[in-house]
Amino acid sequence: MAVDPKAGPELADMAETEALVDVALEADVNGREELLAGALGALANLTFYDVTEACVRQRHDDLVELSLAGLVHTHVETRLEASRLLCNIARRSGGGQAEHEHGGAVAATASRILLEYDPVASEGAATEREVAIQVCGALANACAAAPRAASGAAAAAAAAEAGAVRALADCIVGGLERSDGEVAVTAARALANVLGALARGGGGDVGEGYGQVLAEDETFAAEVALEIAEGRLDLERLGDDAASELVAASGRVLEAVEARLGFDGSGCSSDVGGDDDDDGASESGSQEDGVSLHGHGYGPASPTVSTVGRRGGNNNALRPKTADAAAGLDALS
């Protein structure tokens, strides 16, 4: 019912939404996989609507706990619903101390999930692909610039220490190699937000011992972004919208790395998979209007038809929506 555009907001505004959190917690403790996946799916659908703002704030700790536990669950549907829920609550987190601390945990867990994602092994496994997309969205939201710059910087530092920069760059390459524009674009947006938050600083520093590895990862990410932004790759197979969005995000990646490392791209060649055809990419380059160190949030995980408890179901496509985070992430509905 939450999928319905009229009934969904009314359901989300009911007190029972908070009761679902308790149902999910109890199901997790008692090992009831199907119930847990169903409850997480309902919460993911309901938190799509802004009327759940109060519930998300009041039960933030529990929602984060459920999402992080669900991401590493052995039940594949639980992982998917947990990733969708995490993406939605990450865009609403405020600047409180608890949310500041949770941002680091969210970013670190999301980074580990992406490090384990293998697009070759997962080819044909639609659920694992969707988990990767939603986890990228959660990272993008956790590291977005406004309204919580300090929390975003702390989340970015935790993500970087957990290997997010390289993992996201690899996701972009994997998406390009398989002509999967959604994976490539979502990973590029997340990468731009992580690096942008690191460049802004003000809330979190990468721990001692990670500096050299991070610099190498940033250089690789910049090389990938440079090949995209300068039109060295054939992006036509991704579609016009995905190609232009990927070029814009790549421009933001380059700006962030230049701000941190002074990277200018001279002499770089990352040999990103695909055709080295100069005519295939958008001519907009990396200097498109709006490119800046300000994070761009990932839209809410759209309500989907549940496949829990039945076979042959079909999840609706999860489409990202973007808006300048400086205008407020809560506008992304």
List of residues 6+ apart from 6 with CB closer than 8 A: none
Which one, of 193, 182, 189, 188, lies nearest residue 318 by Cα? 182
**How many CB atoms sit inside 10 A of residue 177's CB?**
14
Query: Is residue 4 over pLDDT 80?
Result: no
Which one, of 81, 92, 83, lies nearest residue 114 by Cα? 83
Q: How far is CA 250 from the centre of its chain?
A: 15
Q: What is the pLDDT of residues 135-185, one digit of tens each?
A: 999 899 888 865 556 677 888 888 888 899 999 999 999 999 989 999 999
Measured between its terminal Cα atoms, the distance across the chain in Å is 18
Length of the chain: 333
- Specify the amino acid at residue 222: A
What pairs with residue 324 in β-bridges? Answer: 296
- Model confidence at 35, pLDDT cuts 50, 70, 90, reads very high
Q: What is the pLDDT of residues 212-240, one digit of tens each?
A: 788 899 999 999 999 999 888 889 889 98
Ranges 107-111, 161-165, 207-211, most confident: 161-165
What integer pLDDT is reported at residue 276 of this predicted model?
40
- Model confidence at 121, pLDDT cuts 50, 70, 90, reads low
Task: State what percent of residues in the chain have pLDDT above 70.
Answer: 69
CA–CA separation, 241 vs 239, rounded Å? Answer: 6
Residue, of 2 and 156, whose pLDDT is higher: 156
What integer pLDDT is reported at residue 206 of this predicted model?
63
Structure tokens, 322: 């973007």
Residue, of 53 and 156, whose pLDDT is higher: 156
What is the average pLDDT across 84-93? 80
What is the average pLDDT across 108-128? 77
CA dist 47 → 58, 218, 249, 330 (Å): 13, 34, 26, 12
Torsion sign over Cα 324, 327, 330, 333: negative
What is the average pLDDT across 308-313? 30
Contact, 135 vs 86, CB < 8 A?
yes
Query: Is residue 13 over pLDDT 60?
Result: yes
For 274, list phi and psi in degrees, rounded to 5.
120, -175
What integer pLDDT is reported at residue 269 of this predicted model?
45
Query: Is residue 38 over pLDDT 80?
Result: yes
Residue, of 184 and 296, whose pLDDT is higher: 184
For 322, list phi and psi in degrees, rounded to 5.
-120, 155
